[in-house]
Structure 1
Amino acid sequence: MKKRLKKIGKITLLLVVLLLIVLIALFYQFSTPKATHKIEKEFEKLSFPISLSTKTYQKYKYRVLELQKKIDTTLPTIVFIHGSIGSILDFKKYLMDEELNSRVNLISYDRIGYGIYHTGNVQESIQFETNLLEDLIKNIPSKKVILVGYSYGGPIALASKKKYKKIILLAPAVFSNKEVMPWALNFYKWKLTKNLIPKTWQAASKEKLSHQKDLEKFENSWNKNPSTILSIHGNDDGIVPYENSLYLKNNISPQQFELVTLDGVGHGLVWSNFKQIKSILLQQIN
């Protein structure tokens, strides 16, 4: 009986170890930035052309996905800014949507530290990110541009002092007092586990730890942004609390700012509430 129990114990332990290895492998695979040729393959079934290029800002390379070979300046241009952790593909459903593509130019890009170049090397600077964004769209009239900033992409959009057609925020992380520090950040802090974490998660952790202090430089001047602003936020968001958008509502005039509350929705609203957000984007085009 003892031998049998011992054998069962060994088999169980082996299965647990194998399962753990598989889960770690899947985690790394999920966290690795997708290769350019794989992204191109995902979009090749579309009936409209795309442009996936590499651009350089200062010394940093990054990828830009445009759902048109050339910007049509008679149409508005939506520029998507992903969060942390995030990638050029966070807005894939929107980028692939035929109705959106028939009405606007669509652009998405990898923020520094999250793409195939300089992976893990985030700059920990909202101002740097905003400068890169402005450089990316410098040849598009700002009155034709709609910025869509998700999570950590929100303050990047807000920090720009240019007047855009619209700034749309999705669960924006804009208020330092409401920065949530998950326990999992300890895996990045501990020397024994830091290098075991995929580089994109190291980037997210590094950015998370410095974001609170960086926000303090900007959050008292969000009301100086010259654009009209719409924030869409779920009131059940445990990652970037709903109070972030309430902070904007309390500090920006109602003539300039509007808040759309998604009842019972968490931080994954970009994916879970695609139809609703797409509908709002279409409304802002006119």
Structure 2
Amino acid sequence: MSSKKTKVFFTTSKIEFTDSIIKLDEHNVHYIQTGQKDFPTLFFIHGSPGSWDAYKEYLKDMLLLKKYRMIAIDRPGFGFSDFGTAENLQVQSKIIFDFIEKVANNKPIILVGHSMGGPVITKLAENNPKKFQQLVIISGSIDPKAENPEVWRSFIMKKPLRYLIPGALRPSNDELCWLKEDLKTMKSNLKNIVSNVVIIHGTKDRLVPYSNMKFMQDEFINSKKVDTLSIKNADHFIPWTHYNIIRDALLGIKL
């Protein structure tokens, strides 16, 4: 979403917002922020491909605004955050953590990640176990055994085919090719996660198997609390198709 369209979107809803970029060494991270600056933070991380506007309806939700400051970023390689340059899970986590340190307000931080955003927030919590109070993993791909990248992805990573891939599909293909190995590396340290966790998954998810929920329940052995919410017969796109359920789950988090 362009800056002009972003302005129209929020001003039409009479919502105050920040649209900015923070520079971190050689990286740029674009973000949108709404809500009271001294509230706990809902920190949204989108899937692949995607951008901050995957969460635009949440950022203007009046019920959420009564409880949270909300920030949604463009992940590295997408939107206005170094568009086109994909990063693996470890590098993404480091960039995003540095960004979070810049915008922290000494209030609890709740990480919300959908799809590829799920492993990203899991990596953040694994690497920084005392930083985050709560994870909300929505349709997240965490189990390396359940991640089966299509064979064609590796072929179109190579020149000249990769330059025929349009727009955000190129960095998306790159990071999805790396994801299985990234998840294998992450698995050995999932025990580091001590945050409370909410896992939300559709039972008919065709892109990220529902079996990920059981995997997380078994692996998050040191999390203070793990709650699960299965949405019967729902597909992968539950942040939009089941908005009220997701929004109410976020409202129900105890701080």
Compute the TM-score of the two structures, normalised by the length of structure 2. Answer: 0.89
Q: In structure 1, what is the equivalent of residue 65 of structure 2? A: 101
Residue-by-residue CA offset, 1:8-62 (whole Å, 9 max, x unaligned)? xxxxxxxxxxxxxxxxxxxxxxxxxx32222222211122310000111221112
Contact 2:113/2:121 (<8 A) preserved: yes
Paired residues, number? 249
Match of residue 37 from structure 2: 71
- Unpaired segments of 5 or more residues in structure 1? 1-33
- In the alignment, structure 1 residue 122 sits paired with structure 2 residue 91: no
Task: Structure 2: give runs of 5+ residues left out of the alignment.
Answer: none
Separation in 2 of the partners of 1:42 and 1:224? 40
Q: What is the root-mean-square deviation in Å for CA atoms of aligned residues?
A: 2.1
2:246 & 2:237 partners in 1: Cα distance?
12
CA contact under 8 A between 1:166 and 1:228: conserved in structure 2?
Answer: yes
Q: Compared with structure 1, are the counterparts of its residues 189 and 128 closer, same or farther at alpha carbon in structure 2 (3 Å cutoff)? A: closer
Amino acid at match of 1:129: Q
Structure 2 partner of 1:165: 133
Distance in 1, Cα, partners of 2:207 & 2:183: 16
Measured in 1, the distance between the counterparts of 2:147 and 2:237 equals 17
Counterparts of 1:79-158 in structure 2, within 5 Å, are 79-124=43-88, 126-138=89-101, 139-140=103-104, 144-158=108-122
SS of residue paired to 1:198 = coil
Counterparts of 1:71 and 1:246 in 2: how far apart (Å)?
36
For 1:71, the aligned partner's letter is K
How far the C-alpha of 1:144 sits from its partner, in A, is: 1.0
SS of match in other structure, 2:12: coil
Aligned to 2:5: 38
8 Å contact from structure 1 (residues 142, 162) kept in 2: no
CA distance in 2, matches of 1:60, 1:265: 36
- Displacement of 1:204 in angstroms is 0.5
Partner of 1:264: 233
Q: Aligned residue for 1:13?
A: none
1:60 to 27, 31, 38: 27
Shift of 1:184: 6.4
The higher radius of gyration belongs to: 1
TM-score of the pair, normalised by structure 1: 0.80
- Residue 45 of structure 1 aligns with an amino acid whose one-letter code is T
Stretch of structure 1 that moved more, 40-49 or 107-116: 40-49
How far apart are 1:193 and its partner, in Å? 4.6
CA contact (8 A) 1:54 1:61 kept: yes
Q: Quick check: 78-87 or 151-160, which moved more?
A: 151-160
Identity of matched residues, % = 24
Instruction: Report if aligned partners of 1:148, 1:168 keep a CA contact under 8 Å in 2.
Output: yes
User: Does residue 175 of structure 2 align to residue 212 of structure 1?
Assistant: no
| Higher helix fraction (1 or 2) | 1
Q: Aligned partner of 2:109: which letter? A: V
Look up the SS of the partner of 1:85 in the other structure. Answer: coil
Equivalent in 221, 225, 247 of residue 215 of structure 2:
247
Residue identity matched to 2:250: L
Q: Name 2:163's counterpart in structure 1.
A: 195
Say if 1:142 and 1:129 are closer, same or farther in 2 by CA, change over 3 A.
farther
Residue 277 of structure 1 aligns to a residue whose secondary structure is: helix
- Tell me which amino acid in the other structure corresponds to 1:115: G
